[in-house]
A and B are shown apart, each in its own frame.
Chain A
Amino acid sequence: MRRRRFLKHTLFASAAMLGAPAIEAKRKPHVVVVGGGFGGAIAAKYLRMYSKGQIDVTLIEQHKQFVSCPMSNLVLAGLKDIAYCTQKYDQLADRWGVRIIHQRAEKIRAAASRLILADASEIVYDRLVVSPGVDLQWDAIDGMDHPKANDVVIDAWQSGADSVRLRDQIQALKPTGSVAISIPLAPYRCPSAPYERASLIAGYLKKYKPGAIVHVYDANQEITTEKDLYQRFWQEHYKNVLFYHPDNTLVAVDIEQRKLHFEFEDAAADVLNIIPPMRAGRIAIDAGLATANDKWCEVDFLNFESVAHRNIHVLGDSIQIAPLMPKSGHMAAQHGRTCAYAICDSLLNKNNPLPPVYANTCFSFVSESHAMHVASVHHYSKENKTMESVKGAGGVSTSPSPEEVPLAFAWADAIWADMFR
């Protein structure tokens, strides 16, 4: 059985690996993409598009459906159903010809150019694109080994099912209840999202649970993005609902007592939304790709090739970011497109690829009716070999406004269409 699977997968694999003469050059190059999120889905689709079908692409994604983290804070506040954030993979296969295997990728054998899947089958690649998102470091917080920890503490930072569970906990809150949100030190996935989440939960409590409150414990010394906009809006709208505590690093949690222990103080709450410290996805860590502090993967920004392994590319939240480059879904999509373009250029022997230009926009809701954004444009600097944000471009909203609400929804529709259709 295992042998049959192996043979099946090697049909896509390198003829050279099977000992065929090098002269048999008609085989298409094979790129395997691990992870079907913003980075991986875009990379898979654009590899097919840019190569005009001249590159075979296999996408390894353990989930049958994609659930977007961006926009999922709306689910927590009961403003959207999780179905709104959910997308299907079928058009990537049917329209773009991406072969999709819904399995967990277990291990990379870089020396043999092979990827090992959960069922122990192996896939041979010419290029591997690793876009595994983040690995949540629960071992950094004492007490999370309690058998009930996963029932009591919810991160809702990478799973749609968790967003629904956290929403249910918030909706079941007693009128005088409290929610605690713990934010890790930057860099973490989606800089604005914890503050957006706090805002939307505060808006929900104000409307449906008067007397209930939300405490935000931030390991950072201040709000990490759009600080003035958040502070002003919170002061005007959530004065007695949302309480912000900077410089509070979570060290332990008491699951039985529902208590959080910070470096300098303790706090109890009914709902514990802990966003733990994070690092590159596990498969990237295990493969030795996390060359920056064993946490993040350093890459060449022209093609996203790992500095540790040739022919392995890393995208999205797992990379060691360039200065002022957020770990955002929008940014990961741009990584995916750049990587696809550079791989096509390299495998199909075209010209030197154009240096990338990124435009990033992150929308955040501060209430049901008001949204805002942070935008930036990034160019590649040959001199410094990194992406640099263009001075004078980019910026934030003047203030949150109703006008930006439809823009945020239009952004989500467009980027999900770009990923999957």
Chain B
Amino acid sequence: MKLMSLLFFLQVNTGLSQSAAMDSAQFLSGACISCHTLDKAATSVIPSLVGQSSESILSDMLDYASGKRAGLLMPQIAKGYSREQIEAIANYFSSLDRP
């Protein structure tokens, strides 16, 4: 099951390398940037998502949405996004600054 979802995830990741898809992912991710700064060097209690692995953003968001992971704010936000949207957002931020 885990392998299946990873395969699906990698497929989405590849698909998004096309520029049109990237534009939509950039637009969709805009809502996150108001709190999660793009400035990786900034010291903020709200972490920058730039360069984080897409797997960790995806699993964090899914855990927030399912209630598996607690938080002051993110459980309320994560519940508003579909899995596809979360995948696009996760891929976008991880693509910004690859290690």
Contact = CB atoms under 8 A, between A and B. Distances in A.
Interface string B71-99: 01100111111000100000000000000
A410 B45 contact: yes
Nearest to B88: A354
B50 to A, nearest CB: 12
A414 interface: yes
B44 interface: yes
A248 B72 CA distance: 34
Contacts of B73: 361, 373, 375, 407
B35 A415 contact: yes
16 contacts: A46-B30, A330-B34, A357-B31, A359-B77, A390-B79, A390-B80, A393-B76, A393-B79, A394-B76, A397-B72, A406-B45, A407-B72, A413-B37, A415-B34, A418-B33, A418-B34
A238 interface: no
A393 B35 contact: no
Contacts of B27: 50, 337, 341, 353-354, 356
Nearest to B26: A50
A411 B30 contact: no
A153 interface: no
B32 interface: yes
Interface string B13-31: 0000000100110111011
B27 to A, nearest CB: 5
A238 B36 CA distance: 34
A87 B27 CA distance: 24
A351 B20 contact: yes
A414 B30 contact: no
Contact of A414 (B23, B37, B72): B37
B73 to A, nearest CB: 6
A395 B67 CA distance: 14
A415 B26 CA distance: 16
Given A361-B73, A407-B46, A377 B81 contact: yes
Interface of B: 20, 23-24, 26-28, 30-39, 42, 44-46, 72-73, 76-81, 85
A162 interface: no
Given A50-B23, A341-B27, A393-B80, A404 B35 contact: no
Contact of A379 (B23, B24, B80): B80
Interface of A: 46, 50, 330, 333-334, 337, 341, 350-351, 353-354, 356-359, 361, 373, 375-379, 390, 392-395, 397, 401, 403-404, 406-407, 410-411, 413-415, 417-418, 421
A283 to B, nearest CB: 26
Contacts of A413: 37, 42, 44
A337 B42 CA distance: 23
A414 B33 contact: yes
Contacts of B85: 357
A414 B45 contact: no
Given A357-B85, A377-B79, A379-B80, A410 B35 contact: yes
B30 A337 contact: yes
The 6 closest A-B pairs by CB, nearest first: A377-B80, A393-B80, A393-B79, A414-B37, A390-B80, A410-B46
A418 B29 CA distance: 12
Contact of B20 (A350, A359, A414): A350
A166 to B, nearest CB: 27
Contact of A417 (B26, B38, B45, B76): B38
A50 B22 CA distance: 11
A410 B77 contact: no
- Kindly name the residue among A351, A395, A411 whose own CB sees the greatest number of chain B CB atoms within 10 A: A411
A357 to B, nearest CB: 6
Given A354-B28, A358-B31, A414-B33, A392 B42 contact: no
A341 B29 CA distance: 12
A62 B26 CA distance: 31
Contacts of B26: 50
Nearest to A390: B80
B23 A392 contact: no
Contacts of B36: 414
Nearest to B44: A410
B88 to A, nearest CB: 10
Contacts of B77: 359, 361, 375, 377, 393-394
A341 B30 CA distance: 10
Contacts of B38: 417-418
Contacts of B78: 393
Given A334-B31, A404-B72, A418 B79 contact: no
B18 to A, nearest CB: 12
A417 B42 CA distance: 10
